[in-house]
């Protein structure tokens, strides 16, 4: 495992970044981008940095993570909540969370022990509106510290696994952010214009990406996200394989020439790669970016990930590094094609 890549992923996944609470992630990304040039944050809280001149390539990943939002505190001191983003309610009972109230408050999502469940109750997932968060506080303390609209996230953790794999929450899409940052380190002297773009609110409808490049004069954009890695129960043909390199997207949404160029570059540079064929929309920011303004030519590169949208997502650091290498190769190729 690359110590530097693992350390970067640990740093990126340690901070909260949601539509309800984004100060920590924006501060961290501002510090990361400052070495490349002036940093801009727009009204949607997309954050970007542009350097160089000439042919304009954008490397994009989203910084936001799935989360919950407090809907109220009950008279017995339990916190009620709703989900923000695609979260499977089956994984929630017993999950460790943090309620970001007047201060960060650790808690656990309540669950009924199997001994007390009746009939078919234990065979189905409880609806989210029947779950609540136990903060271990008195009712008055909970009501003093927590208000409707406060953000809730899964408790942060970072666990190195065997080999080059790591587990954390919000690797979707902080691993994409890491790949863009690692690529940028290889591009500081490239003779073209490069924008590093980290977008907001992908998990609630690609909202940040819809406006991020509206008037940027972009020649090429590559979105970096995660996609499904094979696990038991999946159809192998529908998934990537961890440790086998980035997944290069092929879709009517994506620019066919760019997809082919990425495939060719991977072969030429001996970068392991996989293909991900989609018959329509990609389900990523590439869908929104491709129709931003008068249209943007867009490609998609995805990092294989297990257990997406859970507290224990897994990626392979080698895949992150190979994704960065492919992004850098693409930018260098475009710079060479359009050198003045």
Q: Which residues are marked as active site?
A: 202
Determine the distance from the C-alpha atom of residue 203 to the mean position of all C-alpha atoms in its chain, rounded to a whole number. Answer: 8
Distances (CA, A) of 10 to 25, 68, 89, 115: 13, 22, 26, 38
Pairing of strands 247-250, 133-134: unpaired
Peptide bond preceding 92 in cis form (omega within 30 of 0): no
d(CA 244, CA 4): 20
d(CA 65, CA 63): 7
d(CA 53, CA 335): 10
Closest CA to 190 of 40, 51, 322: 51
Beta bridge partners of 249: 276
Q: Name every residue whose Cβ is closer than 8 Å to that of residue 153 and which is 6 or more positions away in sequence.
A: 16, 18, 21, 65, 67, 68, 97, 98, 100, 169
State phi, psi for 67 to the nearest 5 degrees: -160, -170
Give just the sign of the alpha carbon dihedral 130, 136, 138, 143. negative
Does residue 318 contact residue 243 with C-beta atoms inside 8 Å?
A: yes
């Amino acid at each position: 495992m690359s110590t530097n890549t693992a350390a970067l992923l640990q740093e990126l996944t340690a901070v909260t970044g949601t539509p309800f609470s984004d100060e920590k992630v924006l501060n961290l990304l501002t510090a990361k981008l400052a070495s490349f040039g002036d940093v801009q944050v727009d009204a949607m809280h997309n954050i970007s940095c542009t350097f160089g001149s000439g042919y304009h390539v954008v490397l994009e990943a989203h910084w936001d993570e799935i989360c919950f939002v407090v809907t109220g505190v009950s008279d017995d001191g339990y916190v009620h909540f709703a989900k923000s983003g695609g979260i499977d309610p089956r994984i929630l009972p017993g999950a460790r969370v943090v309620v970001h109230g007047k201060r960060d408050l650790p808690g656990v999502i309540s669950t009924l022990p199997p001994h007390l469940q009746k009939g078919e109750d234990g065979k189905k997932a409880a609806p989210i509106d029947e779950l609540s968060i136990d903060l271990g506080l008195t009712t008055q303390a909970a009501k003093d510290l927590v208000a409707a609209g406060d953000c809730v996230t899964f408790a942060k953790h970072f666990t190195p696994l065997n080999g080059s794999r790591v587990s954390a929450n919000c690797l979707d899409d902080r691993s994409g952010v890491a790949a863009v940052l690692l690529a940028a380190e290889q591009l500081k002297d490239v003779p073209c214009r490069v924008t590093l773009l980290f977008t907001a609110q992908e998990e609630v409808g690609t909202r940040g990406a819809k406006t991020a490049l509206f008037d940027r004069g972009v020649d090429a954009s590559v979105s970096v996200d995660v996609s499904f890695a094979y696990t038991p129960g999946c159809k192998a043909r529908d998934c990537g394989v961890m440790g086998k390199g980035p997944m290069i997207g092929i879709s009517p949404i994506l620019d066919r020439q760019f997809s082919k160029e990425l495939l060719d570059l991977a072969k030429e540079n001996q970068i392991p790669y996989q293909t991900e064929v989609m018959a329509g929309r990609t389900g990523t920011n590439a869908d929104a970016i491709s129709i931003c303004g008068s249209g943007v030519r867009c490609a998609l590169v995805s990092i294989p990930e297990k257990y997406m949208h859970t507290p224990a997502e897994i990626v392979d650091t080698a895949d992150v590094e190979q994704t960065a290498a492919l992004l850098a190769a693409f930018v260098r190729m475009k710079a060479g094609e359009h050198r003045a």
